[in-house]
Amino acid sequence: MESKISISNLDFYYGKAQALFDITLEIPERQIVAFIGPSGCGKSTFLRTLNRMNDTIPIASATGTVMIDGEDIYAPGTDVVALRRKVGMVFQKSNPFPKSIFDNVAYGIRINGIHNSKTDLAERVEKALIDAALWDEVKDRLNTSAFGLSGGQQQRLCIARALAVQPEVILMDEPASALDPIATQKIEELVVELKRKYTIVIVTHNMQQASRVSDRTAFFMLGKLIEYNPTQKMFTNPDEKLTEDYITGRFG
Amino acid sequence: MEHRIIDQQLDLLRDKILLLGGTTEAAVHRAMQSLVTRDSELAKKVLEEDKVIDQMELEIDRLSIEILALQHPAAHDLRFVISVAKITPILERIADHAGSIADAALILNNEPQMNNYIDLSLMAEIAAGMLRTALDAFTAEDSKVSRDVIELDKKIDVTYRKVFNELLELMIDNPSATTGAAHLLFVAKHLERIGDYVKDICELNVYLREAAFIKHSPRVEAPQ
């Protein structure tokens, strides 16, 4: 299986404090990879290195390489805006703009100048909402405020917003942790559906969620990658005792 | 290491299957003893005990389902619950075979004494020994011993063929002994089946320890 993202010997620092240690990992194209581990283990930090979201933190620095489609995203001259268009992100808390449903999804398309006509824009918005499994629920109220949607719908709107700019990779940082079981199930079904077109990396505290949706799972602890294996193996017969202890709740 | 809620239930599950294993082992032993010593009272006890074994099976089923549904076991915990859930009906079937041997004993004890118990006793000894070792290996999670026990099943099969031929000859030479010999043939078949079931238990022991599926495959050595 071809790698979409190749990470080699990645070290990451917040000032002098090292948060990630020598991470080497391959993320295959059109697969779902879950990152699990206790709080503070570095999984979210690692996720954010994949589209350089950590650049927004002044004291952050990284060494090693992160290659996406064979290009080092930390190489000088990298267009970070183009990178983040290619590698979209969905956060733990849904964060719709104080705009209409339509304008939320249209926002990225407009600022990136992706559309070439008003009809094209409307079509792209519709497609993103369909792909995010939200279209049927909002098609009759596209011009109403996004804040009128439920929590689960707002999260799917954020996914539609990420999809609208045609990314290739979607990073999800605990996308369902604030949702009820029904909304969570919808997000999980959506994630699995999105795999047909996108490479997905998902950080989750919910191990059942990792086991339900992902193809491969990476377990992190204290900034180190402890184990990375197919999810089926990880949850039935992990290689490392630390992984076993974590997934069976022997420490939290 | 922290104490987990699941630990208490896993311990309970372990206790229950060990009790079921011990009771099944005793049932096989008593059934054969009732046959060899012509003790019909003992045979009846074996049949009565079967209800207790059925009840144990139900309790283990319920507890296994409860743990799976409520505790979401993973890794070794998951393999343990799955192994127990699969070994339980095997033990129950072994106990059923013990019951059938006791049934045969009740009939044979009313027939004239036959002198063909020697190899049957050997078969029973091997089968009971296999069962005991398999249950010990389950407790110790010893996959090497489990693999060795699997090999022992061949010995039972060989003895079964020998007993089968001997009883067949007996029936031909002495038609008046046909009824008794036929029942002994059933007993031999029950013991042979017990050997097969113990083999299944051992395969699950290997799964528990190594997460390897060795069923339907030639002997596979444990990874070094």
Instruction: Kindly determine whether residue A211 and residue B74, on different chains, have CB atoms separated by under 8 Å.
Output: yes
Q: Is the pLDDT of residue B1 over 60?
A: no
pLDDT tens, position by position, B72-118: 999 999 999 999 999 999 999 999 999 999 999 999 998 888 765 66
What pLDDT sits at residue B117? 61
CA angle B12/B15/B17 to nearest 5° reads 110
Q: Measured between CA atoms, how close is B68 to chain A, in angstroms? A: 12
Q: How many CB pairs under 8 A join A and B?
A: 38
Instruction: Report which of A242, A230, A201 is spatially closest to residue A68, judged by C-alpha positions.
Output: A201
Which residue matches tokens 């999980």?
A188
User: Which chain A residue has the Cα nearest residue B3?
Assistant: A250
Two structure tokens written together for A22: 């020598």
What pLDDT sits at residue B59? 97
What pLDDT sits at residue A157? 96
- Provide the strand spans (E) within chain A: 3-14, 17-28, 32-36, 60-68, 71-72, 87-90, 169-173, 199-203, 216-221, 224-230
Q: Are A47 and A171 in contact (CB under 8 A)?
A: yes
What pLDDT sits at residue B111? 84
- Order of strands, sheet of A60-68, starting from the edge strand that comes earlier in the sequence: A17-28, A3-14, A60-68, A71-72
What pLDDT sits at residue A112? 87
Residue A245 to residues A217, B61, B81, B138, Cα–Cα distance (Å): 15, 26, 17, 22
Distance from C-alpha of A18 to C-alpha of A122, rounded to nearest angstrom:
46
Q: Which residues of A touch B (CB under 8 A)?
A: 207-208, 211, 235-238, 243-245, 247-252
Amino acid code (one letter) for B164: F
Instruction: Kindly determine whether residue A207 and residue B75, on different chains, have CB atoms separated by under 8 Å.
Output: no
What pLDDT sits at residue B224? 55
Distance from C-alpha of A107 to C-alpha of A175, rounded to nearest angstrom:
21
ipTM attached to this prediction: 0.77
pLDDT tens, position by position, B146-172: 999 999 999 999 999 999 999 999 899
pLDDT tens, position by position, A149-208: 999 999 999 999 999 999 999 999 999 988 889 989 999 999 999 999 999 999 999 999
Domain ranges of chain A: 3-247
Instruction: Kindly determine whether residue A237 and residue B75, on different chains, have CB atoms separated by under 8 Å.
Output: yes
Instruction: Kindly determine whether residue A247 and residue B79, on different chains, have CB atoms separated by under 8 Å.
Output: no
Distance from C-alpha of A238 to C-alpha of B79, rounded to nearest angstrom:
12
What pLDDT sits at residue A79? 95
Instruction: Kindly determine whether residue B74 and residue A207, on different chains, have CB atoms separated by under 8 Å.
Output: yes
In this complex, the residue of B1, B72, B211 whose CB is nearest that of residue A236 is B211
Distance from C-alpha of B6 to C-alpha of B164, rounded to nearest angstrom:
49
pLDDT tens, position by position, B15-41: 999 999 999 999 999 999 999 999 999
Other CB atoms within 10 Å distance of the CB of residue B192: 20
In this complex, the residue of B77, B210, B211 whose CB is nearest that of residue A248 is B77
Instruction: Kindly determine whether residue B75 and residue A211, on different chains, have CB atoms separated by under 8 Å.
Output: no
- What class does CATH assign to A3-247? alpha beta
pLDDT tens, position by position, A44-62: 999 999 999 999 899 999 9
Q: Measured between CA atoms, how close is A237 to chain B, in angstroms? A: 5
User: Which chain B residue has the Cα nearest residue A206?
Assistant: B72
Q: Is the pLDDT of residue B220 over 90?
A: no
What pLDDT sits at residue B73? 95
What pLDDT sits at residue A107? 95
Residue A107 to residues A52, A83, A87, Cα–Cα distance (Å): 21, 17, 17
Q: How confident is the model at residue B177 (pLDDT cuts 50, 70, 90)?
A: confident
Over residues B196-224, mean pLDDT:
86
Amino acid code (one letter) for A237: N
- Residue % of chain B over a pLDDT of 90: 82
What pLDDT sits at residue B215? 87
Q: pTM here? A: 0.85
User: Which chain A residue has the Cα nearest residue B75?
Assistant: A236
Using an 8 Å CB-CB cutoff, list chain B residues near A238: 75
Mean per-residue pLDDT over chain B, rounded: 92
Phi, psi dihedral angles at A116 (to 5 degrees): -120, 0
Q: Is the pLDDT of residue A37 over 90?
A: yes
Instruction: Kindly determine whether residue A248 and residue B73, on different chains, have CB atoms separated by under 8 Å.
Output: yes
Instruction: Report which of A134, A173, A127 is spatially closest to residue A151, judged by C-alpha positions.
Output: A134
User: Which chain A residue has the Cα nearest residue B1?
Assistant: A250
Over residues A14-31, mean pLDDT:
97
Instruction: Kindly determine whether residue A244 and residue B2, on different chains, have CB atoms separated by under 8 Å.
Output: no
Q: How confident is the model at residue B217 (pLDDT cuts 50, 70, 90)?
A: confident
Instruction: Kindly determine whether residue A244 and residue B73, on different chains, have CB atoms separated by under 8 Å.
Output: no
Q: Which domains does chain B have, with CATH numbers?
A: 5-210 (1.20.58.220)
Q: Are B71 and B9 in contact (CB under 8 A)?
A: yes
Amino acid code (one letter) for A124: R
pLDDT tens, position by position, A65-120: 999 999 999 999 999 999 999 999 999 888 999 999 999 999 999 998 888 899 99
Using an 8 Å CB-CB cutoff, list chain B residues near A208: 72
